[in-house]
Structure 1
Amino acid sequence: MGPSHDIQVLMGEVRIGRGDDVLRATLGSCVGIGLMWRARGLYGLAHCLLPEAPNPTFAIGAKYVTQAVPSLLALMRADGARRGEIEAVIAGGGNMMPHQPPARHGLIGVANARMAQALMAETGIPIVHVEVGGEIGRQLTIHCAHHTFHVRTIGTNEGSPATTPPALRLVGRES
């Protein structure tokens, strides 16, 4: 096995990996959506800035969660019959700019995470791991050669435990 090829998935990007590729997104309030098609050795990662596009878009990209999910599925050529073989991991959606009082429009990270989970449910792709929320950043990494993923916490925000909302961590199969 040769050296791994590190692919940084930047804000608004969607990337596909296989073989020795390592997909990586560093996330704050953005949400990362990783799709793992282990049977085909094909993986995808989207780095989404906002939950929903104001107007429908058919361009490949990931500025919006609603754009990212169809983009990932198209790039992976995942027709409906094969979606049961794909697993999803969702990370990020942190509150990086605490508001006092809370923002009227709600927290963008929470909205991103909710939209990602709703779209996965709509597509029928099972979510095996969710790690979102709180006042921390995260890094989502998918190691294609090993068929694994990892979510790493980045930094913490000072605050009392009573006022800091906890991160949601739904532990599935982190293999």
Structure 2
Amino acid sequence: MNGCDVHVKMCEMRAGHGHEILRTTLGSCVGIGLLWHQRERCALAHCLLPEPPSGQGQPSAKYVTDTLPALLRLIGAEPADYGQLEAVVAGGACMVRHDRPAPYGLIGEQNTQMAQRLLARAGIRVVHTDTGGTHGRQLSIDCRTRQYSVRTFERID
């Protein structure tokens, strides 16, 4: 992948084009990449939490539930186009050691489950998933070729 790196930070989403490479680094957060080969478009989001607390005001890339509709708008996809899209989901790791189970489950698992549920509901095919475990990941999308890669790295204790 040779091109101009565009770093997608936590709670951000970006569409890319040309020789840009969208890249994000993930722990318990989940990265959602969309590839639209027919229209030569791609996008990447870095989501912190599965959904906002009730009563949350503005939609934000912070939440998976807000991000997927916003990503689809960002690349100009309408519901009739969703069958042409492919998705990549990465992240959702447990990056912190827990002495006892988290009372509401692990946030990484919740992020991943929400992303997969919303993509399935929209009819968007997930072509690659690399989630869970205890290692971080870097998700990259080459906008020129619309190819993706996921690199893992170990947690430092």
| RMSD of equivalent CA atoms | 1.5
Residue 146 of structure 1 and its aligned partner are, at CA, apart by: 1.9
Determine the C-alpha separation between the residues in 1 that align with 2:19 and 2:13.
18
Q: Is the 8 A contact 1:19 1:41 kept in 2?
A: no
For 1:17-166, list aligned pairs within 5 A: 17-54=16-53, 55=55, 59=59, 61-156=60-155
Match of 1:14 in 2: 13
Determine the C-alpha separation between the residues in 2 that align with 1:57 and 1:23.
28
Runs of 4+ in 1 over 6 A off after TM superposition: none
Which ranges in structure 2 are unaligned for 5 or more consecutive residues? Answer: none
Q: Describe the SS at the equivalent of 1:39.
A: coil
Q: Percent identity of the aligned residues?
A: 50
Which ranges in structure 1 are unaligned for 5 or more consecutive residues? Answer: 159-175
Determine the C-alpha separation between the residues in 2 that align with 1:132 and 1:6.
23
Determine the C-alpha separation between the residues in 2 that align with 1:56 and 1:66.
12
Determine the C-alpha separation between the residues in 2 that align with 1:9 and 1:157.
23
Determine the C-alpha separation between the residues in 2 that align with 1:140 and 1:34.
8
Q: Give TM-score, length-normalised by structure 2.
A: 0.93
Determine the C-alpha separation between the residues in 2 that align with 1:17 and 1:124.
22
Higher relative contact order (CA 8 A, sep 6+): 2
Q: Give TM-score, length-normalised by structure 1.
A: 0.84
Instruction: Note closer, same or farther for the CA distance 1:58–1:70 as it changes in structure 2 (3 Å cut).
Output: farther
Determine the C-alpha separation between the residues in 2 that align with 1:65 and 1:107.
15
Determine the C-alpha separation between the residues in 2 that align with 1:38 and 1:13.
23
Q: Is the 8 A contact 1:91 1:138 kept in 2?
A: yes
Instruction: Note closer, same or farther for the CA distance 1:22–1:98 as it changes in structure 2 (3 Å cut).
Output: same
